[in-house]
Copies of this chain bind each other. A is one copy, B any other.
Amino acid sequence: MSVQDKERIARAALARLMEPQDSVGLALVHVAGAVDALGVATGELGTSAALEQEISTVLSDGGGPATWAGLKDSLKRWAPRVADLAPDRDLETMRRLGGRLIVPGDDLWPEQLSDLGLQEPLCLWWRGHEQKLPSARHAIALVGSRDSTSYGASVTGDFAYGLAQRGFSVVSGGAYGIDAHAHRGALNGGVAGLPTIAVMAGGVDRFYPSGNEDLLRAVCTQGAVISEVPPGSAPTRYRFLQRNRLIAALASVTVVVEARWRSGALNTAHHAETIGRAVATVPGSIHSANSAGCHRLLRDGGAVCVTDVGEIVELAGAIGEVGSGDKESGEKVQRSAAHDGLSLEDLILLDALPLRSTSSVEKLTVVAGLSPDAVRAGLGRLGLLGLAVSERGAWKRQKNA
């Protein structure tokens, strides 16, 4: 068996052993590699003080918990599932369903997920034809209430159709309401490629909710249905919330079409904001409870008001650049050149700067973990170097920087 295959099977097993975003588990994989991590997690390999120290470092660098109880607690958490591990069976299930498992480093792995840092998923279970998943700039997330109004349905349908027509993939969660209208509109508008992606909270072997079975089957045929949890996993509340970070990370813009004052869609928006993606929202009647969450996003700042497809495309910064894979790698080369000679703090700050949306000094202190004074001084330096630019007092990375 090749090294790659061993890695793949180990990740398949780890995905069943660990809940999404198990930070200790992810740090363990980071330090020891998937194969040895699986050995440690199942008790086949022993632990050491040095390993625990390395995990501590990765956790604190990755913004994880400042204190953690040590591997002992995690091993207890993982132990009950060790007996259920059957990664070969899970991979066979995916083949049978016409799907596959992808892991970081694969050609098919969506690179934008690395923006999640330590929170990058171990792997993705993917049902649908084998084709390249879109880059972030060619993917837009449309999310919102399950109990959408006719207004929300009509706006979502129009947006999804228009985005697919322009070659964008519409990412959503496969749920009732806004999600369903998003997938349906994109399927109707899709001209080529991958019009829509449903990111599931449970395993992709089962179409959930059942009322969307026909729709999700169509998404499988024309688009992609993906999940970070293995076949047979139930869509728990925790997994729904973790799933939202994948929707946010896959897309350049997360558009909240309709949301109540408290709504899962706001959680997706928060994830998007955290990793520097653009958050947009659709205004509606102040008499509609289903727009209260959208107006909250507008009031709390951070969300851009969008009223048509053109404004979303503008946010994605991708007008007329669909399919420009070469251009992106060119940008990356230029970027590493521009980095030369920057101090560590300024590099951290540059990485914290969003490319498309803007970020306030306050937010940058949180994202970069620097003091307000250090952020302000650093922004000044990056501005002088042409690497950062401010718009109405908020900052973003200079294009091509």
Q: Which residues of A come within 8 Å of B, CB atoms?
A: 151, 154-155, 282-287, 291-292, 294-295, 298-299, 301, 304-308, 311, 359-363, 376, 380, 390-395
**CA of A123 to CA of B359, assembled, Å:** 45
- Within 8 Å CB of A285, what residues of B? 151, 283-285
Given known A380-B376, A392-B394, A393-B395, contact A286–B298 (CB-CB < 8 A): no
A362 to B383, CA, bound (A): 14
Residues of B within 8 A of A283 (CB): 283-286, 291, 294-295, 298, 305
- CB neighbours of A298 from chain B (8 A): 283, 298, 305
Closest-by-CB residue of B relative to A286 is: B307
A361 and B394 alpha carbons, distance in the complex (Å): 9
Given the known inter-chain contacts A285-B285, A361-B393, A376-B380, please indicate yes or no for A299 contacting B305, CB distance below 8 A: yes
Q: A298-B305, A311-B299, A393-B393 are in contact. Are A286 and B292 (CB under 8 A)?
A: no
Query: What is the interface of chain A mostly: helix, strand, loop, or mixed?
Result: mixed
Which 6 residue pairs spanning A and B have beta carbons closest together?
A283-B283, A360-B393, A298-B305, A360-B392, A286-B307, A393-B393
CA separation between A229 and B293, bound complex, in Å? Answer: 45
Shortest beta-carbon distance, A154 to chain B, in Å?
8
Q: How far, in whole Å, are A391 and B300 apart by their CA atoms in the complex?
A: 11
Q: How far is the CA of A390 from the CA of B282 in the complex (A)?
A: 27
- Distance (Å) between the CB of A281 and the closest chain B CB? 9
Cβ contacts under 8 Å, A295 to chain B: 283, 305, 307
Judging by beta carbons under 8 Å apart, are A304 and B299 in contact?
Answer: yes
A202 nearest CB across to chain B (Å): 33
Q: List 29 A-B contacts (CB under 8 A).
A: A154-B287, A283-B283, A283-B285, A283-B295, A283-B298, A283-B305, A284-B285, A284-B286, A286-B307, A286-B308, A295-B305, A295-B307, A298-B298, A298-B305, A299-B305, A299-B306, A299-B311, A301-B392, A305-B305, A360-B394, A361-B393, A362-B390, A362-B391, A362-B392, A362-B393, A392-B393, A392-B394, A393-B393, A394-B394
Q: What is the CA–CA distance of A8 and B360 in the complex, to the nearest angstrom?
A: 50
Given A298-B298, A305-B295, verify A392-B376 contact (CB < 8 Å).
no
Q: How far is the CA of A391 from the CA of B307 in the complex (A)?
A: 26
Minimum C-beta distance from A198 to chain B (A): 25
Report the Cα distance A305→B301, complex, angstroms.
10
Most buried by B among A151, A285, A299, A395: A285
Min Cβ gap A379→B in Å is: 10
Inter-subunit contact A286/B155 (CB<8 Å) = yes
CA distance A151 to B284 in the complex (A): 11
Query: Given the complex of chains A and B, what is the CA–CA distance between A391 and B392 in angstroms?
Result: 12
**Besides A283-B285, A283-B295, A286-B308, 6 other CB < 8 A contacts?**
A284-B285, A359-B393, A360-B392, A392-B393, A392-B394, A393-B394
Enumerate chain B residues within 8 angstroms of A391, measured Cβ to Cβ: 362
Residues of B within 8 A of A308 (CB): 286
How long is the Cα–Cα vector from A301 to B360 in the complex, in angstroms?
14
